[in-house]
Structure 1
Amino acid sequence: MSAELRSRRNVFAGLALDRCSERRPDHAWLEQALRAPETRFIVLDPDGKALLTADLRHLRELDRVEQCEWRVESAPTLLGVDENQAAHFLLAPDAPTALRVAEAGGGQFMDLRSAGLVLPAFEAGLFAYARGLAHWQARTRWCSACGSALMLEWAGHRGRCSNPDCAIEHYPRTDPAIIVIVTWRDACLLGRQATWPKGRFSTLAGFVEPGETLEDAVRREVFEEAGVRVVDSDYHSSQPWPFPSSLMLGFTARAEDPTIKVGDEIDEARWFEVDEFVRDVESGALGLPPPLSVSWRLIEHWLKQASGLELSELKSPSTWR
């Protein structure tokens, strides 16, 4: 399976959307899209929760009539156009308006972590995209160079300093982070943070630093957290992770030797051989990250390669929520 196909299986990565970046400064096109009957509006409240249908199975997107009728006056942000040529926009109203829209539309708001595993792939990806943009807009209101207010332009995708002597452009940021499954022979390395309940383990991860390649970040993070030296690493897949603005870059890696020396960033690190891993998962002694995370996919990949077993078929009494 190619890395592209592996990425598409990750939650939030199944967004088949033309982002229409070339259309963002085209005011005439935007006005036409906003008035089109097929256009839909995803609604996020100030906490970043999206409006879902009453059964919590789909996004409750508004049409143009509903937006006007319910007076949702938030400045729309263009997300893109789907395969049916319907445009999707983001609306981020204030809390009272969001509550009124939910009551009028018969829906309710849900956070992204909870919605990610119940929404269809396209809708989960759309929610993640919208949440990342909304967070950037809400947190980037002032120019970092001169302190003046920013004005949103480019259909919500660019901020420009309002000070004419500055006029610096600001764009949404994405923070790259590596996440890696390290192996030694047929064992995998998992770690746990001190704040996690006993028995919960996950793959190692960390942010990429300036001037660092992804492979360098893998080597550094694994050594900093577990004291294990990595011989080589290979890219596995990626996952948008808007909590609030990360891109998770999944890797597989091979250790030089199994010696562990836990650093200050995690509480514990352990090697799990296949038999021990399966036994502990099925007994509930080992808690794993949920399928929401690419970490789950990396563990799934290791287990399949090492034993031919499918992680989803293990009978686990515990769920990491």
Structure 2
Amino acid sequence: MKLAEQVTFGGSGLDRAAHIRSDEAALRSALAHRNAAAVVMWRGKPLVRGEGLDQLATIPLDHPVLQAGYADAVPEPVFLGCDDTDAPRFACDISSWEPKDQDLAALGMFLVPSEQTHPEFPKDHVFAELRRLMTRLNRRDSELAATAKAIIGWHDSHRFCAKCGAPSEVSEAGWQRVCPSCKAHHFPRTDPVVIMLITHGNSVLMGRSPGWPEGMYSLLAGFVEPGETLEAAVRREVFEEAGIEVGDVSYLSSQPWPFPASLMFGCAGVALGRDITIDPVEIEDAIWVTRDDMMTAFAGEHPVLKPARRGAIAHFLLQNWLADTLD
């Protein structure tokens, strides 16, 4: 698919400079670089700025907030790579900071509406939920934010050795954890997920999960199991969820999805029939939607149907299906 990397969080060409991670001298030089700066994360939220919260904020590494001992998941900056200006970019976690007199009740929700401000940062700098921001940020900012969220989240959930249970230690500039007890090495986790544009004639298969906003439908999706190809996962998931057998399967595009640690593989599949039998444990409903109805939904004029959320790969794939730009 020619437009594959135009998906939200798609590749912006960030130089991840992986050779620096294991080179102590090069890492020290990057940390001391006059243009080095950090993407700051607080409980999964990136620090953003601007009137429209449409820019990722970066903070000098010697900023007092970053020196105040607020680090939780990882105590040192994680090296993300070098920006176009050859400026090193890091991710710093300050999740131990406790905001005073601010709304924390919504933390942990699917889409957190609240924002938090730190008194040491400029007034237009706030911590906000990345799902709300992902279509506002430019490609470089969105890649940095997604990478920072995913890697900090991995450290937060993998503080102990999976082999022996001992506390593990950060190494490789944040891209590895090593167990001092059994010497096991652990690397950032990414879970493969297939998300399927299943068509039959001029219609696409859509489903909805319990708890979604009324009228919202999206493409079917599911985790790839060990020992399974992407094609097999597409056919299995569609049959399990909707009772539809799928023939030809092809790959379209992928999307890093740091909620918390998935890589979405967008695939196209041709249904061999239209009779739907849903598994109520998996999904709440599944329907065939014609191209005309989907165009009406994308225009916001459909009386019932709401399309997948903007920024998600499902929206991206459907948009390109409607525009005949999947090739």
Counterparts of 1:113-124 in structure 2, within 5 Å, are 113-124=131-142
Counterparts of 1:189-200 in structure 2, within 5 Å, are 189-200=205-216
CA distance in 2: counterparts of 1:162 and 1:145, whole angstroms: 12
1:44 partner SS: strand
Q: Corresponding residue for 1:319?
A: none
Structure 2 counterpart of 1:209, from 207, 222, 225: 225
Q: Corresponding residue for 2:91?
A: 90
- Structure 2 counterpart of 1:269, which letter? A
CA distance in 1: counterparts of 2:320 and 2:140, whole angstroms: 23
Question: Does residue 170 of the first structure (1) align with residue 190 of the second (2)?
Answer: no
Q: Corresponding residue for 1:274?
A: 291
Contact 2:66 2:92 in 1 (8 A): no
Contact 1:58 1:123 in 2 (8 A): yes
1:296 partner SS: helix
Q: Corresponding residue for 1:49?
A: 45
Mean CA deviation greater in 134-143 or 271-280: 271-280
- Count matched residues: 299
Instruction: State the Cα distance separating 1:68 from its structure 2 match.
Output: 4.9
Instruction: State the Cα distance separating 1:101 from its structure 2 match.
Output: 8.2
Contact 1:52 1:109 in 2 (8 A): yes
Identity %: 35
Contact 1:153 1:160 in 2 (8 A): yes
Contact 2:168 2:178 in 1 (8 A): yes
Mean CA deviation greater in 204-213 or 119-128: 119-128
Contact 1:252 1:298 in 2 (8 A): no
Q: CA RMSD in A?
A: 2.0
2:3 partner SS: helix
Contact 2:249 2:270 in 1 (8 A): yes
Question: Does residue 304 of the first structure (1) align with residue 301 of the second (2)?
Answer: no
Instruction: State the Cα distance separating 1:162 from its structure 2 match.
Output: 1.6
Structure 2 counterpart of 1:259, from 259, 275, 290: 275
Q: Corresponding residue for 2:151?
A: 133
Mean CA deviation greater in 123-132 or 16-25: 16-25
- Structure 1 counterpart of 2:155, which letter? Q
Mean CA deviation greater in 207-216 or 55-64: 55-64
CA distance in 1: counterparts of 2:167 and 2:244, whole angstroms: 47
Instruction: State the Cα distance separating 1:97 from its structure 2 match.
Output: 7.4
Q: Deviations over 1:285-315 (max 9, x none)?
A: 111112210000111122223xx9xxxxxxx
Q: Under a length normalisation based on structure 1, what TM-score does the superposition of the two structures give?
A: 0.88
Structure 2 unmatched runs, 5+: 101-115
Q: Corresponding residue for 1:25?
A: 22
Structure 1 unmatched runs, 5+: 309-321
